[in-house]
């Protein structure tokens, strides 16, 4: 059976594999298809696509947009993101700017806490690509925290001492813009850090009205109960099912391509189903 991975990060966001390297990693893992879904950018897609092609891997260009509602933060994956879509590029440029400002503020807050850290400590990462997992890794390497969990609990998480909020679009804005651009909007890891079936269903209904096409039921951090609940929701609201590891290379070393934390096995039929839904809408695949 061919296995796939529809949620992966490269150095264009907070992954540690460059886009070409990522395609080779996927090849080594024996997968037949992959999607690149960097946070708030599509910039790695072209290089990754070329490398994927050279390695005989079916490549789906994508991105993962960070959004916020009154219920918290929600990540929306766009699969089959188009090239040169003005509105999508504008939204991503705005979020990039917000990330840059947020990163500068968080590094300043860390310095004010007596930690010697600056942009220069991330020579291989542009400030607009820097993510909190990079900073967590740095704090771990310097022995300032004992593990990544402590980095988020103490400094980088929502209640952390160095946290700074980042302006984000609403989930509905991201979903409708992705849908309008011809991409397939998927709600990424709905149960990443909470399991609330009632809230989840209410949000699925809301997101579906904005044009949501699918739910990422299979994800490294989903419990079997969460996955089952999400599969039922997808069925109930006639949404597609998606799945991915959320591979970040060395920034999340417990996650492996395709198998996540050893709990995933994503068959190619997931991708085939997404493709037939797109075809029935006349969208390119
Ligand atoms: P950013 O986009 O820079 O705000 O960072 C988001 C990334 O940080 C995502 O990949 C999350 O998985 C990760 N993240 C957020 N909160 C936590 C946490 N409490 N523990 C571990 N990773 C987290
Ligand atoms: Fe990330
Ligand atoms: Fe995410
Ligand atoms: Zn992700």
How many percent of the chain have pLDDT more than 90?
98
Residue 41 and residue 63 in contact, taking contact as beta carbons nearer than 8 Å: yes
**In the structure, what pLDDT confidence band is assigned to residue 240 with cuts at 50, 70 and 90?**
very high
Distance 248 CA to ligand 4 centre (A): 8
Other residues' Cβ atoms within 10 Å of the Cβ of residue 78: 29
* pLDDT tens-digit series, residues 166-206: 989 999 999 999 999 999 999 999 999 899 999 999 999 99
133 lines ligand 1 (CB under 6 A): yes
| Cα separation, 36 vs 60, whole angstroms | 7
pLDDT given at position 226: 98
Distance 208 CA to ligand 2 centre (A): 24
Q: Ligand 1, from 63, 101, 132, 260: best to mutate by most atoms within 8 Å of Cβ?
A: 132
Distance 100 CA to ligand 3 centre (A): 18
**In the structure, what pLDDT confidence band is assigned to residue 217 with cuts at 50, 70 and 90?**
very high
39 lines ligand 1 (CB under 6 A): yes
In ligand 1, which atom is closest to the CA atom of 251? Answer: 10
249 lines ligand 1 (CB under 6 A): no
* Average confidence (pLDDT) over 10-28: 97
List beta partners, residue 33.
Answer: 4, 58
pLDDT given at position 1: 82
| Cα separation, 57 vs 209, whole angstroms | 34
In ligand 1, which atom is closest to the CA atom of 166? Answer: 4
* pLDDT tens-digit series, residues 132-175: 999 999 999 999 999 999 999 999 999 999 999 998 999 999 99
Q: Nearest residue CA, atom 12 of ligand 1?
A: 133
What 3-state class would DSSP assign to 269? helix
* Average confidence (pLDDT) over 55-71: 97
Q: Ligand 1, from 97, 100, 129, 133: best to mutate by most atoms within 8 Å of Cβ?
A: 133
pLDDT given at position 199: 98
Provide the residues around ligand 2 (an ion) whose CB is within 5 A.
14
| Cα separation, 282 vs 276, whole angstroms | 10
Question: To the nearest whole number, what is the mean pLDDT of the chain?
Answer: 97
* pLDDT tens-digit series, residues 103-123: 999 999 999 999 999 999 999
Q: Nearest residue CA, atom 13 of ligand 1?
A: 133
Distance 253 CA to ligand 3 centre (A): 16
Which ligand has the shortest distance to the CA of 189? 3
Residue 178 and residue 185 in contact, taking contact as beta carbons nearer than 8 Å: yes
19 lines ligand 1 (CB under 6 A): no
Residue keyed to tokens 């709600």: 187
């Amino acid at each position: 059976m061919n296995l796939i991975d529809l949620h992966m990060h490269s150095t264009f966001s907070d992954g540690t594999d460059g886009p070409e390297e990522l395609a080779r990693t996927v090849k080594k893992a024996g997968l037949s298809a992959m999607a690149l879904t960097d946070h708030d950018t599509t910039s790695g897609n072209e290089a990754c696509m070329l490398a994927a092609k050279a390695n005989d891997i079916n490549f789906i260009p994508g991105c993962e947009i960070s959004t916020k509602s009154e219920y918290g933060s929600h990540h929306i994956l766009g699969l089959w993101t188009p090239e040169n879509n003005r509105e999508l590029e504008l939204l991503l440029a705005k979020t990039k700017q917000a990330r840059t400002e947020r990163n500068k503020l968080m590094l300043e807050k860390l310095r004010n806490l007596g930690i010697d850290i600056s942009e220069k400590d991330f020579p291989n990462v542009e400030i607009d690509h820097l993510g909190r997992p990079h900073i967590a890794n740095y704090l771990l390497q310097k022995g300032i925290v004992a593990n990544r969990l402590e980095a988020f609990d103490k400094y980088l998480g929502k209640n952390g001492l160095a946290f700074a909020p980042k302006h984000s679009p609403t989930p509905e804005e991201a979903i409708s813009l992705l849908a309008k651009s011809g991409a397939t909007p998927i709600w990424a890891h709905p149960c990443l850090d909470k399991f609330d079936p009632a809230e989840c269903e209410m949000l699925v209904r809301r997101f579906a009205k904005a044009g949501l096409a699918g739910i990422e039921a299979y994800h490294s951090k989903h419990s079997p109960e969460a996955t089952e609940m999400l599969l039922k929701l997808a069925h109930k609201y006639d949404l597609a099912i998606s799945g991915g590891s959320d591979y970040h290379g060395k920034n999340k070393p417990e996650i492996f391509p395709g198998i996540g934390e050893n709990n995933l096995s994503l068959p190619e039929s997931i991708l085939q189903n997404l493709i037939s839904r797109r075809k029935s809408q006349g969208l390119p695949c």
